[in-house]
Structure 1
Amino acid sequence: MNAPPNIDPSTAYSDSDVLHWLTNDARDERFIDNIFAQMCLRLQRVGIPVKRATLHVQIQHPQWLGAKILWADGMHEAELMRVDHEARGRSEYIGSPVSEIHDGAEELRENLTRDPALGRKHAVYDEMRGQGLTDYVAWPMYHTQGKRHVVTFATDRPGGFDDAQIASLLKLVPILALVSEIRVKNRLARTLLETYVGTHAGELILAGATRRGTGTTVRAAIMICDLRGFTQISDNWPRDDVIDLLNGYFDAMSEPIARHGGEILKFIGDGLLAIFPLDQPNACANLLHAVTEARQAMIALNEKNNETGAAPLKYGIGVHVGDVMYGNIGSSTRLDFTVIGPAVNMASRLEALTKQLGKPVLLSQAFADLVKSDFDLERVGETPVRGFNDPIELFAYHG
């Protein structure tokens, strides 16, 4: 997060200066939390006694419902807090001013100096009274397609905000909506790309790597994992149970991969494809550390599933290292950002051999040569691999 620029206290501002800054001079600032903090500081400079302000935005994210941005007097940077999907069931949300705005209120105004027994009942009002604040206002902030967010302001001025100050704040809201929407959508675009194609691929796409056939050669360790017996499970289990099972399995496999610097490029039914680029230090060792943790997570998942009478999940992992073509492949209207090449094919063939050889994790000799001094590997021997002329020396890893 970037620090806001210094604001000269001797400079005289009017509320039109704040509007001009918001519509013109803030355009080069990427982060809405920085813009929000700078806006509040400028409001103070024009004589609007804002002491606390919040911005609540909802986003589309698999983990987060949205974010809360909090600024308070004396802060040069706002605090950004993520809000998870379960937040709406908690006491801090139920009955809060934000929930009232989400439920349709067009304005909430609370005199914080009156007897609490006569005002709205919620912990956030008590918190603000404890901070010496006297007045609070909250408004909806609309983005396109009716998306409804919330902005709030509070002051410690005796008597609260006056009518002119409220009018100035209200005038800012539609401008703040425009300024925040483009930042939120930029963040949403990045989040969606990270969610669906991975962090590195997402960055390349945002940087302009969108033409079919564009790509680069990457030397990487490749990991392909597949679930055993999934067809029988999907044929016999209820749909929702199958989805829950898959999600648990993918969590067990995916989280260690991300933790150790790998990137999952694709989920294919009950399988996944991940790479660990060799330009990262210790990429091959990191892959095996991820495999170790994934296997431990699968043991825990199977123990949990066993409590409900479910059969243990079995899987196979094939690992190879080599050059892959990393880029855009597909039709003229539908592209896939992925990796292809003989090295990917080899990893896929090794994964298929795990069932035949009874070894859950199989490594090619090319990969094993890079890690066998640091890891205990079992030599399996030379094995014919479909699609390759000569037998391949294979190793098993029991992690």
Structure 2
Amino acid sequence: MNSAELQRVLNWLIDGAWSAQEPAEMIADFCERLVAAGLPLWRFGIFIRTLHPEIFGRNFIWRQGEDVEIGSVDFDVLDTPEFAQSPLRIVFEQSVEVRGRVDDPNSKRFPIVDDMRAEGATDYIAVPLPFLDGSTHATSWMTRQPGGFSDDDIAAIRAIIAPLARVSEIISLRRTAEMLLDTYVGNRAGARILGGQIRRGHNDTMQAAIWLSDLRGFTALSDRLPAEAVVTILNHYFDCQVTAIRGHGGEVLKFMGDGLLAVFPIDEYVGDAAHVCAGVLEAARESRASVEALAIPVGDAVERFRFGVALHVGNILYGNIGGGNRLDFTCIGPAVNLAARLEKITGRLGRTVVASEGFANVCRHDWHELGEFPIAGFSKAQRVYGLADETYAQVG
């Protein structure tokens, strides 16, 4: 391998691989530079473990002449026979290099060597990718060169690891921040925070459809069931809503015990209020069906559930609110307050879905007028609407 060309690749990495905008582009550029420098690379993989409640890691696979494949694996992979027999398991657990050659009898313990032989590959090496936080990630390098990688090739790969690890860690940290913000505050809020809206007073006014829901009988449920069972119930219950909300363009801003606050932004310049609200209503119908079908065994009994959701549309103040150095990215305003009051009416009326007059006027539907109700904090009584296909008897 040409040492001068290798140094150019190292300098490119040290400079931050600035010519590439996305990770997949960076990996493709990186591999093509190495091949041009004389490394007989046919396949390259980089495997980054993630800080995510469901995803164990992400992988990027480059093959000569093909686009980079991007994938992810969940934690179930740790219990599979394939992972148990993979060189990457040894890399993750022991932080050591693992080599497999088609002409080496000792390499037969790795099933990947048979796959290599079928694809015409001759040599494979998995190399740890250490991050500064002490975590170990992995790279894999494969060649079709007769006789496999030379000693100079292996030395070049080892020389590349340190700068590759620094660039990968920077990219990984950015993605970890995005995933954590997405997990805990929502995608749009996370993007705003990463974009610099981190000070108290950084707020925007936004028109949105508002969703505020609550689980019926949660206080009594919490009193008679073990805490672990209540947590399990809440997680399944929220799953029934979050999938529908996100599937129709909404963002969950907050979980409040058994309550859920979500918003569906409306682009006032496009004039898509009717379309957005129609999606909100469909999400409410889907959630209703999912909650009605939810049955969780607890001891000798099976728990069934009902919930209520209020739908409203209006302007909200969206941004950082809090005290000292503890802020919350949320939304406030009279529209949110009205949605919260309407949600309480769902229980009084034995309804699952209720809508404000404003929402019903935007989302033309077969609504059933439920009457006018005085709302605490509002000078005028509010007209409330329900779905015509709900025929529950009025409660209290």
* TM-score bracket for this pair, using the shorter chain length: over 0.9
Map Cα deviations across residues 201-235 of structure 1 (whole Å, 9 max, x no partner). 11111111111011111111111001111122222
Partner of 1:142 in structure 2?
130
Aligned with 1:388: secondary structure? coil
Match for 1:386: what amino acid?
A: A
Letter in 1 for 2:70: L
Identify the residue that residue 87 of structure 1 maps to in structure 2.
Answer: 77
**Aligned letter for 2:64?**
D
How many residue pairs were aligned? 383
Whether the 8 Å contact between 2:100 and 2:110 is mirrored in structure 1 is no
Structure 1 counterpart of 2:379 = 389
Pair 1:312 & 2:304 matched: yes
Q: How does 1:55-74 map to 2 (within 5 A)?
A: 55-74=46-65
SS in 1 for 2:302: coil
1:256-271 alignment, distance < 5 Å: 256-271=244-259
CA displacement, residues 311-366 of structure 1 (integer Å, 9 cap, x when unaligned) = 31121111111111111100121001111001000000000111111112111111
2-structure distance, mates of 1:25, 1:387: 56
Q: State the identity as a percent.
A: 38
Distance across 2 between alignment mates of 1:259 and 1:219: 19
Q: CA 1:322–1:145 in structure 2 vs 1: closer, same or farther (change >3 Å)?
A: same
Q: Is the 8 A contact 2:292 2:305 kept in 1?
A: no
Shift of 1:136: 0.8
Residue type matched to 1:348 in 2? A
CA contact (8 A) 1:12 1:45 kept: no
8 Å Cα contact 1:56/1:149 also seen in 2: yes
Q: Deviations over 1:282-305 (max 9, x none)?
A: 111110010011111112213x55
Asked if the contact 1:31–1:183 (Cα under 8 Å) also holds between the matched residues in 2, the reply is no
Give the secondary-structure state (helix, strand or coil) at the position aligned to 1:119: helix
Alignment of 1:98-137 (within 5 A): 98-115=88-105, 118-137=106-125
How far apart, CA to CA, are the structure 1 residues paired with 2:382 and 2:95?
68
Give the letter aligned to residue 166 of structure 1.
Answer: I
After TM superposition, give the deviation of residue 122 of structure 1 in Å. Answer: 3.2
Residues 170-194 of structure 1: per-residue CA shift (max 9 Å, x gap): 1001111001000011011111111
For 1:310, the aligned partner's letter is V
Contact 1:133/1:156 (<8 A) preserved: yes
2:308 is aligned with 1:340: no
The match for 2:280 among 270, 284, 287 is 287
Q: Select 1:18's aligned residue among 9, 12, 36.
A: 9
Gaps of 5+ in 1: 1-10
Any idea what the Cα deviations from partners look like across 1:144-197, whole Å, max 9, x if unmatched? 221100111011111111111100011001111001000011011111111111
- Please state how far the C-alpha of 1:92 moved relative to its aligned partner: 2.1
The whole-number CA distance in structure 2 between the counterparts of 1:66 and 1:51 is 23
2:243 to 240, 255, 262: 255
Q: 2:82 corresponds to which letter in structure 1? A: E
Q: For 1:14, what is the secondary structure of its paired residue?
A: helix
Unaligned runs of 5+ in 2: 391-396
1:308–1:188 distance in 2 versus 1, CA, 3 Å: farther
Structure 1 stretches (4+) deviating beyond 4 angstroms?
Answer: 304-308
Contact 2:20 2:29 (C-alpha < 8 Å) held by counterparts: no
User: How far apart are the structure 1 equivalents of 2:118 and 2:181?
Assistant: 43
- Aligned counterparts of 1:365 and 1:132: Cα–Cα separation in 2: 68
The aligned counterpart of 2:44 is 53
Q: 3-state DSSP class of the match of 1:93?
A: helix
> Closer, same or farther in 2 for the Cα pair 1:239/1:25, shift >3 Å?
closer
Q: Is 1:351 aligned to residue 343 of structure 2?
A: yes
Relative to structure 1, the CA distance from residue 247 to residue 25 in structure 2 (aligned partners, 3 Å threshold; closer, same or farther) is: closer
Q: Does 1:327 align with 2:353?
A: no
- Whether contact under 8 Å (1:306, 1:312) holds in the other structure is no
Residue 394 of structure 2 corresponds to which residue in structure 1?
A: none
| Distance of 1:149 and 1:270 partners within structure 2 | 38
Distance 2:235 2:156 in 1: 49
**Counterpart in 1 of 2:171?**
183
What is the CA distance between 1:88 and its match in structure 2?
A: 0.8
CA distance in 2, matches of 1:350, 1:51: 62
Paired position in structure 1 for 2:393? none
Q: Structure 1's 67 and 193: CA in aligned 2 closer, same or farther, altered over 3 A?
A: same
Q: Cα distance 1:242–1:259, how it changes in 2: closer, same or farther (>3 A)?
A: same
* Counterpart Cα distance in 2 of 1:60 and 1:381: 49
Equivalent-residue separation in structure 2 for 1:13 and 1:79 (angstroms) = 30
